[in-house]
Chains A and B, each alone.
Chain A
Amino acid sequence: MSSNGSIALWPWTKGARRAAGNSGRNQLWTALLFLLPAAAAVVVIRLWPALSALHASLWDTRREVYNVLNYSYIFTDQVFLGSLRTTLLFSLIINPLQIGLALALALLLHAKLPAVGLWRTLIVLPIAIPQSVSAVVWGIAYRPDGLLNSALATIGVDPQRFLTSPEQALPSIIVLLSWVGVGYWMTFLIAGLKDIPASLYEAARIDGLNSWQQFWYVTLPQLRRPLTFVLIAATTANFLIFAPVQILTSGGPQQTTNLIMNEIYVRAFQTGDIGAASAATVVLVSVVLFVVAIQFRIMSRMGGGDE
């Protein structure tokens, strides 16, 4: 890149250019040295395993040829299809739920209230805890004689089965994960709310809009960037949920919590079917990258529109 805008520095930009020219040949090699460890990490820790999953999913160990038998197998296997359905259902519930709650919290805690920073911090706190720890703690709270049933008893509700009930197990995991994640998504939305110019609300008030109309016509459209970001980030994060399922339910009861990461884990380490596990891995990575690609498209289009 040329050194534009440095006319005042003219006497020595010339020198600088000469110096850069001298090192120009070496600069590529020096740059490669700086880049090498990170590039190696990317290759070894992301690309190679992804390619090896692709290879293992297509390689037929018996006939020693490439084919799509692993894919045709998993896409006709009831357990895998059930896992896909469960993951889809889970996504369709947890993402709108978390984002709706995060938005409501952001609107409440964006206001100038006494000690508002403290209330925000308390709601964000759970994200700092490893998910496995949250799962263990909530697992104890969900026990038949646990915290939740005794809380329900005080309001006269019969004890619930929570994690051992096919109807309640997935909702129970959704509640625990929302406790973990909602505060985190809230922080992005609060940042977005801060960026909305106050003049827009003034104009809306002058036009006689009530607070609901202001939310609908000013706040929501202005929040679409952070909302899109949070939607995509939550979607990808929630595709990868593993610890709570593995620790609390192992995918049960009756496969009702068998999210795709647990399915891959079981295939690889309990059934020992590496081919099917790899095919499922490729499906998962593709879905996640597809969602991220959509994010980039939407965000860049929005960016172009805004500026």
Chain B
Amino acid sequence: MSKNVAIIAVKTCAAVTLALLFLLPLWWVAVSAFRPEADIFKYLSPLSVWTFLPNDPNWTNFQRLFSGAFGTAIMNSIIVAAVTVAVGLVICAGAAFALAVMEFPAKNAIFAAMVISFLIPFDAIAVPLYGMMRQAELQNTYIGLILPGIGNGLAIFSLRQFFLGIPKTLREAALVDGLSWWAIFTRIYLPLSGPALVGAGLILFVFQWQAYLWPLLIAPNPRYAVASVAIAQFSNSFGVEYGPIFAGALVISLIPMIVIAVLQRYFTASVAASGSKE
């Protein structure tokens, strides 16, 4: 018994140490973001408690960050991600609905073709796609930024999986009642699929929030730059401004964490609900 306690104590110590080690870079970002720029390297060497604790927290870096082009970049990122999620969910849920619920020839072949095509890694074909989109004059437009995100194989796959679990009798009854397929989709399937839609929305959101190569290519104009690209350009330019970089890194990192933390509740709730149903 006491041997077990000892094992748990050792394991807990290891877990805490490792977790803090993983947190350290982020913690350092957060502390540096709230520190006057001149102090960021001052407290770095020699290493002291003040390297990792704020001594005079203030918002100067954030004020400088948002007075520049970065505010626009964050807004662009939010617009691109929000439109991608909204449009992408309609498109992916529609396809998933047809593939899960409706009957038509070559259904499985179409599903397979779609899944296989989406396995082509997007970043690998970003360069030829850029050539196409430039010809279509979609350079430096929101449409150019958003388009690659709206069709997502993983989102279609997971929604189809969820739709397959909705009892067939529901739609058979609805068809007898004379409901159209569109009505079955919007009034029966979508309302029943809240958690699955949240999950698919998260997939679409993360794709856009993480994107780097594509926005770098398609939106060279700073007016359309997204946050993940803008912050890299901050650090490449002459006379690097470390204060705003840390503040920017913190803002870009916190937004997805907040989104995931808020939506996590839906996830666990959905898992609990589906568990009790079965």
A and B are partners in one complex rather than unrelated chains = yes
Chain B residues within an 8 Å CB radius of A34: 94-95, 97-98, 102, 181, 185
Chain A residues within an 8 Å CB radius of B175: 16, 19-20, 23
| Cβ–Cβ contact A108 & B14, under 8 A | yes
Task: Decide: A150 near B46, CB < 8 A? Known: A137-B249, A141-B25.
Answer: yes
Task: Decide: A147 near B169, CB < 8 A? Known: A12-B176, A39-B114, A243-B232.
Answer: no
| Cβ–Cβ contact A30 & B92, under 8 A | no
What does the 1/0 interface line of A104-117 toward B look like (CB < 8 Å)?
Answer: 01001101111010
Q: Say whether A96 faces chain B, with CB atoms less than 8 Å apart.
A: no
Chain B residues within an 8 Å CB radius of A157: none
Interface size on B, residues (CB 8 A): 93
Determine the main DSSP class of B at the interface with A.
Answer: helix
State A28–B103 Cα separation when bound (angstroms).
Answer: 7
> B121's contact among A116, A236, A269, A277, by CB below 8 Å, is which?
A236
B195-217: which residues lie under 8 A (CB-CB) from chain A? 206, 209-213, 216-217
Q: Say whether A31 faces chain B, with CB atoms less than 8 Å apart.
A: yes
Q: Say whether B118 faces chain A, with CB atoms less than 8 Å apart.
A: yes
Q: Which residues of B contact A (CB under 8 A)?
A: 8, 11-12, 14-16, 18-20, 22-23, 25-26, 28-29, 41, 44-47, 51, 90-92, 94-95, 97-99, 102-105, 107, 110, 114, 117-129, 131-132, 147-148, 150-151, 153, 156, 168-169, 172-173, 175-176, 178, 181-182, 185, 206, 209-213, 216-217, 227-229, 231-232, 234-236, 242, 245-246, 248-249, 252-253, 256-257, 260
| Cβ–Cβ contact B181 & A285, under 8 A | no
Q: Say whether A145 faces chain B, with CB atoms less than 8 Å apart.
A: yes
> A123's contact among B18, B127, B169, by CB below 8 Å, is which?
B18
Which has the most chain B C-beta neighbours within 10 Å: A56, A105, A119? A119
Interface size on A, residues (CB 8 A): 95
